[in-house]
Amino acid sequence: MKLTGQDIIKELQERREQARLGGGSKRIDRQHAAGKLTARERIDVLLDPGSFEELDMFVVHRTREFGMDGNTIAGDGVITGSGRINGQLIYVFSQDFTVFGGSLSAAHASKIVKILKLAIQNGAPVIGLNDSGGARIQEGVDSLGGYADVFLQNALASGVVPQISVIMGPCAGGAVYSPAMTDFTFMVRGSSYMFVTGPDVVKTVTSEDVTAEELGGADTHTTRSSVADGAFDNDLEALAEIRRLVGFLPAHNAAPLPRLAVDDDPARTIPALDSLVPENANVPYDMRELIISLADHGDFFELQESFAKNILTGFVRMNGAPIGVVANQPMVLAGCLDIDSSLKAARFVRFCDAFNIPILTLVDVPGFMPGTSQEYGGIIKHGAKLLFAYAEATTPKVTLITRKAYGGAYDVMSSKHLRGDANYAWPTAEIAVMGAKGAVEILYRSELDDTQKIAAHTADYEARFANPFIAAERGFVDDVIIPNNSRYRIIQAFEKLRGKRQQNPTKKFGNIPL
From residue 129, give the alpha-carbon distance in Å to each of 170, 189, 215.
11, 15, 21
Q: Of 75, 101, 173, 230, which is the active-site residue?
A: 173
Q: Is 174 an annotated catalytic residue?
A: yes
Q: Of 174, 216, 230, 435, which is the active-site residue?
A: 174
Q: Is 230 an annotated catalytic residue?
A: no
Residues facing residue 316 across a β-bridge: 300, 323
DSSP 245-304: HHTTS-SSTTSPP------S-TT---GGGGGTS-SSTTS---HHHHHHHHSGGG-EEEES
Amino acid in the structure at residue 123? G
Rounded distance between C-alpha atoms, residue 190 and residue 209, angstroms: 19
Q: How many CB atoms lie within 10 A of CB 188?
A: 26
Rounded distance between C-alpha atoms, residue 411 and residue 407, angstroms: 7
* 297 φψ region: left (φ > 0), alpha (ψ -120 to 50), beta (else): left
Q: What is the DSSP letter of 101?
A: G
Pairing of strands 230-232, 184-188: parallel
Q: Is 377 an annotated catalytic residue?
A: no
From residue 237, give the alpha-carbon distance in Å to each of 101, 219, 312, 363, 439.
23, 16, 22, 32, 50
Rounded distance between C-alpha atoms, residue 166 and residue 94, angstroms: 9
Q: Write phi, then psi, for 5 (nearest 5 degrees).
A: -60, -40
Q: Is 173 an annotated catalytic residue?
A: yes
DSSP 40-73: HHHHHHHSPTT--EEE-TT------GGGGGG---
Rounded distance between C-alpha atoms, residue 497 and residue 423, angstroms: 13
Q: How many CB atoms lie within 10 A of CB 320?
A: 16
Which residues 6+ apart lie within 8 Å of 397 measured at CB?
A: 358, 359, 361, 390, 414, 419, 420, 421, 422
Rounded distance between C-alpha atoms, residue 296 and residue 411, angstroms: 29
392 closest CA partner among 252, 251, 502, 249: 502
Angle between helices 106-122 and 141-157 (to 10 degrees): 10
Q: Return the active site residues.
A: 173-174, 408-409
